[in-house]
Amino acid sequence: MRTTNKALFLDRDGVINIDHGYVHKRDEFQFVDGIFEFASEFYRRGYQIFVVTNQSGIARGYYSEDDFRDITDFMESQFHGAGVEIKKTYHCPCHPKFSEVCECRKPKPTMLLQARDEFRIELSQSLFVGDNITDVEAGESAGVGYNYLFSQNSEDDRMDFDAIVKHFFKLGVN
C-alpha cells in the first residue's frame, strides 16, 4: 500500500480542551487557547487533522456513546467554523478496570494505525500532540515521525503550541 498523506494527530482532553475530568457536555468543553490557530497552521499546509482520544468515562458509566458523539459533533463544528476540518475522531471507550481489555486504548497504536489504513497516512511524515506519555508511546509504536508532549505552560519537557510549530517546521518536514 502506498501512502500519500501526512497528518496532525491530536489528543483531546488536555490538548484540544482543558481537561476538567471526563468532559462530556458542551458547557464543560473549554477549548485550549491557541488550538484553532495551531491546527489551522497545519491544515493550511496540507495536513489532515485527526483526534485520537481515550474516553474511559464511557466504560466507567459517567457518560454514554451518544454523549460522546454529541460533544464530538460540537467540537468538530467549532473547528469547522475556524476553517479547519477534523477528518475523523477516533476514540477508545474502554478501561481495563471497568470493561474488557481492548486493543485500542493508548498507549497501544491501534487508533493511529486505523487512520493510516483508512486515509493512507504517511505516519513517518506526521506528528502527534498529546499531553500524556501514553500519547507519545502510541505515536512511537505506530511509527509517527514526530511526537510532542504538550502543555499550555511549557512545563518540564513539554512544549506549547508555538514551540511545537517552530520546532516541527524548523526540521523542514513540510
Any idea what the CATH number is for the domain that residue 39 is in?
3.40.50.1000
Per the domain annotation, does 62 fall within a domain?
Answer: yes
Contact 31, 51 (CB under 8 A): no
Question: What is the model's pLDDT at position 39?
Answer: 98
Least confident of 23-27, 73-77, 98-102, 161-165: 98-102
In a domain, 93, yes or no: yes
Domain count, the chain: 1
Q: Phi/psi at 17 (nearest 5 deg)?
A: -125, 155
Residue 109 within any structural domain of the chain: yes
User: Per-residue pLDDT averaged across 37-65, rounded?
Assistant: 96
Residue 2 counted as domain residue: no
> 11, 131, 135, 160: which one is catalytic?
11
Q: What is the pLDDT of residue 107?
A: 97
Q: Domain for residue 1, yes or no?
A: no
Q: Is residue 96 part of a domain?
A: yes
Residue 13 a catalytic site member: yes
Name the strand (E) or helix (H) holding 86.
Answer: strand 86-92
Instruction: Tell me the residue range of the domain where 158 lies.
Output: 11-170
Query: Does residue 157 have an active-site annotation?
Result: no
From the candidates 13, 131, 135, 160, give the one annotated as an active-site residue: 13
Q: Is there a domain that residue 4 lies in?
A: no
CA neighbor of 86 nearest in space, from 125, 117, 47, 128: 47
* pLDDT (mean) for 117-129: 97
The pLDDT value recorded for residue 154 is 63
Domain assignment present for 56: yes
User: What nine digits make up the cell of 115?
Assistant: 487512520
